Amino acid sequence: MEPKPESGHARRRPGAKLRLPLKITSISWSDLAHTLGPILLASGLAIWLALHFVRPMPPRTLVMSGGPKGSSFETFAERYGAILAENGIKLKIVPSAGSLQNLDRLSESHSRYDIALVQAGITETGTAKQGVDTRNLVSLGSMFYQPLTIFYRARRRISRLSQLKGERIAIGKEGSGTRLLALALLGGNGIGVGTEGDTQLLDLDGDAARKALVDGQADAIFLTGDSAPPATIRAMLHTRGVRMFDFPQADAYARLFPYLHELSIPPGTFDLGANLPRRPLTLLAPAVELIAHSDLHPALCDLLIQAAQQVHGRPTRLQHAHEFPNTYTYTFPLDSEAASFYKSGGGSVAYRYLPFRLASLVTRIAAVLVPIIVILIPGLRYLPNLYAWRVNSRIHRRYGELMALERESLQPLTPERREALLDRLNEIERSVILRKIPGSHAEQLYQLREHIRFVRRNLNRSGARANPEAQPAETAT
């Protein structure tokens, strides 16, 4: 028979059993907080990252560097503006002298210009203004061709530009895109400023160049862009003694000047009735790119490309339907959003089927909802399981300590070591009793306490066997 329990007023010996009330609650708020906290933290971090990478609402105004009055650059810019206005975006168009000034404006530090049309090849020929920093500029794609047409006076056809050496050649005014391209091609054929021979490079373009050729004051003229509309080409083809230059070396030019494209002109393209030209011709043409700053809002990027598809997607004498805009070649890095647009065949689903402003709002809301759906909702769904696992793990951890203590109690023990183990046992029981435990886990807690009593009895009995005269510290419950 086990000894009777000690008096309640007697001093508790080191190995005596603790008598503290259990703190049973309906829920352990500490465990709930430690379980729910990581889920809320992960969801908040995901939402913050989504909002950080999703741009704010797009601005309502864009500034575009256009082109000369009455030019195709200005006409296309106005068409862009009309389409953007339908989507609540105002396009402010500032006239310019052309591609060179457009590039200079975009390259300025803290530039107020957002977009511009720029003829390909300006940076490759090294004719852009010195010190221009284009690292922050990106391409939204090629928008249309600006074919180069060369007319010359000769009794027989010529097949190489080098055959114009020693002639009077109108290459356009200083700073014009026509002049830049003409100098590059003539330079490739050994003709240019400072070269040997009697070649004269005339600063004439447009109507002045055509008149000089017709009046015999020029032997060849370079026309491109607005200076060579179809009506002008037709008129020049009807002019006696004037021929249109064909590029039999077009493949070589396209390789040496990657920004140039070959254009095949079928007979009758410019005059079906007179069948002009009378035989197939090959022309060279640089593309014109829509250039923007790299921080252009992605939604505006999609909207601008959609506008370009409406403006430039129609068939003409020089292009097929839906040939433009495209990314066949580009001289500036292609914007990542533009690349995604061309690859997918359109912008995001929201921008395809919803008004622009509404689609932008939906995109931002989706950025918040996705982390909630992916992280928060599944986390809350498994919250009860995680909560139960946390409480159970705390109880199981005490079992691990208890088992380690019991294994040590099976070894021969000195009285001092036995008292130390009893004290450690009391600490384990104290931590279990003082820590709040939800009522749903009370049964496991009481089982743990029974096991603690079992180990304590074994320690007391082994101590009694080792010292029969000692008074046991615990009696049976």
Segment 110-131, tens digit of pLDDT = 899 999 999 988 876 544 455 5
What does the pLDDT average to over 269-282?
A: 94
Residue type (1 letter), 37: G
pLDDT at 156 over 70: yes
Predicted confidence band at 21 (pLDDT cuts at 50, 70, 90)?
Answer: low
Query: Tokens in use for 309?
Result: 């598809």
Segment 158-172, tens digit of pLDDT = 999 999 999 999 999
CA distance 341 to 305: 8
- Tell me if 185 sits within 8 A of 169, measured CB to CB: no
For residue 271, being part of any structural domain is answered with: no
Is 401 or 21 the better-scoring residue by pLDDT? 401
Predicted confidence band at 298 (pLDDT cuts at 50, 70, 90)?
Answer: confident
What's residue 171's pLDDT?
94
What's residue 49's pLDDT?
65
For residue 417, being part of any structural domain is answered with: yes
pLDDT at 249 over 90: yes
Segment 355-366, tens digit of pLDDT = 666 666 666 666
DSSP-derived secondary structure for 396-434: HHHHHHHHHHHHHHTS---HHHHHHHHHHHHHHHHHHHH
Report in angstroms the alpha-carbon separations of 437 from 18, 384, 448. 18, 15, 13
The residue written with tokens 């004439």 in the block is: 204
For residue 475, being part of any structural domain is answered with: yes
Count of domains for the chain: 1
Is 381 or 91 the better-scoring residue by pLDDT? 91
Segment 442-459, tens digit of pLDDT = 667 777 777 778 878 877
Judged by DSSP in three states, 327 sits in: coil
What's residue 279's pLDDT?
93
For residue 199, being part of any structural domain is answered with: no
For residue 13, being part of any structural domain is answered with: yes
Structural domain boundaries, residue 456: 1-53+382-477
For residue 476, being part of any structural domain is answered with: yes
Q: Within a 10 A sphere around the Cβ of 198, how many other Cβ atoms?
A: 8
Segment 170-224, tens digit of pLDDT = 999 887 888 889 999 999 999 976 545 578 999 998 899 999 999 999 999 999 9
Segment 336-360, tens digit of pLDDT = 889 888 887 766 666 666 666 666 6
Segment 23-53, tens digit of pLDDT = 445 455 565 566 666 767 776 776 666 655 5
pTM, whole model, 2 decimals? 0.65
What's residue 333's pLDDT?
93
Lowest mean pLDDT among 54-63, 152-161, 191-200: 191-200
Segment 130-152, tens digit of pLDDT = 556 788 999 999 999 999 999 99
pLDDT at 11 over 50: no
Rounded to 5°, the CA angle 387-392-395 comes to 135
What's residue 411's pLDDT?
75
For residue 11, being part of any structural domain is answered with: yes
Is 259 or 472 the better-scoring residue by pLDDT? 259
Report in angstroms the alpha-carbon separations of 44 from 49, 214, 262, 382. 9, 74, 55, 18
First to last CA, the chain: 12
What's residue 5's pLDDT?
45
Percent of the chain with pLDDT over 90: 40
